[in-house]
Amino acid sequence: MDVRLAVTGFGNVGQGLATLLQQHSEEYVDRYGVRLLLTGVADSGGGAVDPAGLEPADLLQAKQAHGTVAAAARGRPGLRGEDFLSAASGHVFVEAASTNFIDAEPGWSYIRSALQRDMDVVLASKGALALHWRDLMTMAAERGRIVFYSATVGAPLPSLQVADRALLGAEILAFEGILNGTTHQILTAMAQGATYEEGVRQAQEIGIAETDPTLDVDGWDAAAKVAIVANAVFGANLRLDDVARQGIRGVTAADLEHARSRGQRIKLIGRAQRRDRTVTASVAPEPRDSSDALGRLRGDDMGIVFLVEPLGRMAITIESGGHGGGISTAMTVLRDVLNLARDRAWSTPSPG
Ligand SMILES: NC(=O)c1ccc[n+]([C@@H]2O[C@H](COP(=O)([O-])OP(=O)(O)OC[C@H]3O[C@@H](n4cnc5c(N)ncnc54)[C@H](OP(=O)(O)O)[C@@H]3O)[C@@H](O)[C@H]2O)c1
């Protein structure tokens, strides 16, 4: 079965996805019985569309040479919105554009249009989930559409799949996690003697911190992830503002030294718990024993621990953020697309 993908955003994640398709498309056909075709790709300069499938190498080359996919063979400068979705005629809309926590655009408008067009949706961007969870999920349910968003919560950690599939039948009471690689990298550097400013600079040098790291260091990114996981796991309807939030700017060398003297490390922990019918959620720095599942993590490692009745604590961790943000996030988007194809019974497993 051919699965047609319309993708907005051709930065780290979008280009990572094109690279994976360029290298592994035939393998996916053999292994999963599904041929993934990029039928539309848009960036801020316009789009490229071909219902028969665009050539990933051509898109990557056009982006590198001219800064926009609109310069590719099937490119159309200025193509966006409804015109783009209509021309791409995809089965699945993949949202991998930059977003914000003010109006969640451009993703939120695209997502609504895609659902109206009866497309399934795979999200890398968090904005719409953190601000419009209930509306988005209600609209998807009314249209009978699937929305997957693994990449939004610490890709490539399989947090949501574990919660949704591996723990089916058990009860998740709470979770806690290190869900933001940038702050974790900064705190690790500070624990090794760097100042806060040096820690930020190091994180920028290795390419995980933005020029303006506000959304990370003030805890917004982690809070959005906590809201998304809590909504998915507890059936809650949290918005970003419902998560009590404290970032890492106030963490001092004295705090780190005090923690170290007690065999602990300071981590930015996001957590949520359900008591009766109430879900509470927070993000804050806290000392952790260096031997516990989250306390032992370093650098841009990430992890999440579920407290599960009757199984106890279940930890999922990944070292070094899965190596290389764009590709590991693209892998996670791809995993969602392949799972979606499987759930829709579009894919046929290879014999033997
Ligand atoms: N990088 C990661 O590892 C990671 C992990 C989890 C989630 N995410 C999320 O995934 C999304 C993409 O991340 P990224 O690292 O790929 O970001 P990025 O490198 O900054 O790329 C963002 C892309 O969005 C495009 N864009 C901006 N406005 C647009 C519009 N109106 N229509 C279509 N495209 C538009 C940009 O176009 P131009 O190229 O023309 O500027 C660019 O291609 C973000 O929302 C991010 O928060 C990223």
* Residue of minimum CA distance from atom 30 in ligand 1: 44
Percentage of the chain exceeding pLDDT 90 = 89
Ligand 1 centroid vs 95 CA: distance in angstroms? 9
Q: What is the pLDDT of residues 215-265, one digit of tens each?
A: 999 999 999 999 999 999 999 999 999 999 999 999 999 999 999 999 999
Q: What is the pLDDT of residues 69-121, one digit of tens each?
A: 999 999 999 999 999 999 999 999 999 999 999 999 999 999 999 999 999 99
| Rounded Cα distance, 127 and 150, in Å | 14
Whether residue 245 contacts residue 283, with contact meaning beta carbons closer than 8 Å, is answered with yes
Q: What is the pLDDT of residues 44-62, one digit of tens each?
A: 999 999 999 999 999 999 9
Q: Ligand 1 pocket by C-beta < 6 Å: which residues? A: 8-14, 42-45, 68, 80, 96-99, 106, 124-126, 151-152, 155, 325-326, 329
C-alpha separations of 103 from 62, 108, 265, 279 in Å: 30, 8, 36, 24
Looking at residue 126, its pLDDT comes to: 96
* Residue of minimum CA distance from atom 3 in ligand 1: 325
Question: What count of Cα atoms within 13 Å lies in the side-chain half-sphere of residue 65?
Answer: 10
Say if residue 180 is exposed, middle or buried (CB neighbours under 10 Å; 0-12, 13-18, 19+): buried
* Residue of minimum CA distance from atom 14 in ligand 1: 12
| Rounded Cα distance, 255 and 285, in Å | 10
pLDDT band at 206 (very low <50, low <70, confident <90, very high): confident
| Rounded Cα distance, 344 and 55, in Å | 25
Q: What is the pLDDT of residues 120-129, one digit of tens each?
A: 999 999 999 9
| Rounded Cα distance, 259 and 287, in Å | 6
- Nearest ligand 1 atom to the CA of 80 is 32
Report, as an integer, the average pLDDT of 185-212: 91
- Nearest ligand 1 atom to the CA of 125 is 45
Ligand 1 centroid vs 36 CA: distance in angstroms? 21
Looking at residue 174, its pLDDT comes to: 98
Structural tokens at position 311: 């199984």
Ligand 1 centroid vs 30 CA: distance in angstroms? 30
Question: What count of Cα atoms within 13 Å lies in the side-chain half-sphere of residue 196?
Answer: 13
Mean pLDDT of the chain: 95
pLDDT band at 350 (very low <50, low <70, confident <90, very high): low
Q: What is the pLDDT of residues 155-185, one digit of tens each?
A: 889 999 999 999 999 999 999 999 999 999 9
| Rounded Cα distance, 133 and 236, in Å | 9
pLDDT band at 352 (very low <50, low <70, confident <90, very high): low
pTM: 0.96
Whether the predicted pLDDT of 283 surpasses 90: yes
Structural tokens at position 233: 């796991």
Looking at residue 154, its pLDDT comes to: 87
The β-bridge partners of 177 are 270, 304
- Nearest ligand 1 atom to the CA of 16 is 16
Looking at residue 3, its pLDDT comes to: 96
| Rounded Cα distance, 190 and 200, in Å | 10
Sign of CA dihedral 181, 185, 190, 192: positive
Alpha carbon 6 to chain centroid distance?
A: 18
Looking at residue 322, its pLDDT comes to: 57
Whether residue 152 contacts residue 335, with contact meaning beta carbons closer than 8 Å, is answered with no
Looking at residue 320, its pLDDT comes to: 75
Residue type, 95: E
Ligand 1 centroid vs 262 CA: distance in angstroms? 41
Ligand 1 centroid vs 5 CA: distance in angstroms? 16
Sheet holding 120-123, edge to edge: 75-77, 46-49, 35-43, 2-8, 92-95, 120-123, 147-148
Looking at residue 325, its pLDDT comes to: 65
The β-bridge partners of 289 are 264
Ligand 1 centroid vs 221 CA: distance in angstroms? 15
